[in-house]
Amino acid sequence: MPDLIVENIEKQLGTAQILCGVSFELQQGEVLALLGASGSGKTTLLRSVAGLERPDKGKIEIRGKVVFDAATGFEIPAEQCGLGLVFQSYAIWPHRSVFENVAYGLRLRRVPDAEIRQRVGDVLARLGLGHLADRYAHQLSGGQQQRVALARAIVYNPPVLLLDEPLSNLDAKLREDARAWVRELIKQIGNSALYVTHDQTEALAIADRVLLLDRGQIQQDGTPQEIYGRPTSQFAAEFMGSNNRFDGKIAEISANRARLENHGWSLWGKLRGNKEPGAPGTGLIRVERVRLADGGGENHLKMQLKSALYLGERWEYVLQLGELRLRVWGEEGRAPGECWVAIPQEEFWIF
């Protein structure tokens, strides 16, 4: 049985339709990322599951128990759903110690003191916070505060963890480290988790499955590998990764391939969707799939290298052919001049 079932959730704020009939299931032990740009509806969806927003339509079940049903007007208050919430702001009480922050939910549930000490001690030790139990929020780093918020959410073993941009307040280096231990922690405790983020790298690294949202609708539902490597729409392809874009006209179609052309270039790629020869088309390829070549060949372009940017772990070349500009990654600096660029057909998607 799924830990969470969301059926046809709709939500309107004023004249804006925030959620447009969203449905999905969260399986036991699964980490599901809600990924999208600002305004896509991901946070409103999470708050609806948490009981902090009341949808206009739809139904929500947690472990087989209905907690919201717009059709019948049935609704269980958020505090009775027992979900574990981690907010972007952490919401740590500054006047309470780390121990008291984590123990708060257990005290509300009237758990005996001895059990509270054991459970809080166990979860703080698991998160490397045991030596900080007596400290207050202002004495903690951002990363430590984030761990306290997580500890408070998991200490009473909630049926589902809800995390709203939990790493967004950390600096870049801490975020990279936190991705790994957050996923490890969720997997160790065996909880299912609904994880909201606008950071695609974070979603791909942490989640077992990703829901890509845009304007209140699910654009694609799949594993991180599917979302990144096999996008089902132009929106999904462009949202994920770093891309080179080619705007042109469909000149020829052969089976599931198409030839896209514009002034000075003509390229074959995989046709995604229904197109007819002569129709406008858009070609997309991930920047990391493009390579500099030693010479001409099929799907090769002769371009002008305009600049080479040093990014530390790699170089980024900016190339131009007429109005077409491409970015290519490489391992060494290069002087401006002519060069050949290879566009692999299987990696070049035409929409």
Question: CB-based contacts of 7: which residues, under 8 Å, 6+ apart?
Answer: 23, 58, 59, 60, 61
- Count Cβ atoms below 10 Å from residue 33 Cβ, excluding itself: 27
Cβ count within 10 A of residue 54:
11
Q: Strands (DSSP E) along 137-254, which ranges?
A: 160-164, 192-197, 209-214, 217-222, 243-254
Spatial distance between the Cα atoms of 134 and 96, rounded to a whole number of angstroms? 9
- Domain containing 291 equals 242-350
pLDDT at 88: 79
Gap between the Cα atoms of 154 and 102, Å rounded: 9
Whether residue 264 sits in one domain with residue 115:
no
Q: What is the pLDDT of residue 171?
A: 80
Same domain, 109 and 195: yes
**How confident is the chain (351 residues) per 10-residue block, as mean pLDDT?**
96 95 97 96 96 97 96 93 85 90 89 93 89 90 87 89 88 83 87 94 97 97 97 96 97 96 97 93 98 95 97 96 96 95 98 97
Look-up of token digits 């405790």: 189
Instruction: Give the domain-ending residue among 187, 214, 235.
Output: 235
Do residues 144 and 206 both lie within one domain?
yes
Residues 269 and 345 in one domain: yes
The pLDDT of residue 322? 94
Which two tokens mark 112?
């005996």
Question: Do 166 and 305 lie in a common domain?
Answer: no
- Same domain? For 266 and 338 the reply is yes
With tokens 């969203």, the residue in question is: 22
Structure confidence at residue 188 (pLDDT) = 85
Are residues 231 and 251 located together in one domain of the fold?
Answer: no
pLDDT at 101: 93
pLDDT at site 46: 97
Q: What CATH number corresponds to the domain at position 59?
A: 3.40.50.300
Q: Which amino acid makes up residue 106?
A: L
Q: Read out DSSP for 176-202?
A: HHHHHHHHHHHHHHT-EEEEEES-HHH
Please indicate, yes or no, whether residues 105 and 176 belong to a single structural domain of this protein: yes
- Clarify whether residues 120 and 259 are in a common domain: no
pTM for this entry: 0.89
CATH code, 263: 2.40.50.140
pLDDT at 170: 80
Domain boundary among 184, 204, 235: 235
Q: Percent helix, strand, coil in the chain (nearest 5)?
A: 30, 40, 35
Query: Domain count of the chain?
Result: 2
**Crossing angle for the helix pair 142-154 and 98-108, to the nearest 10 degrees:** 20
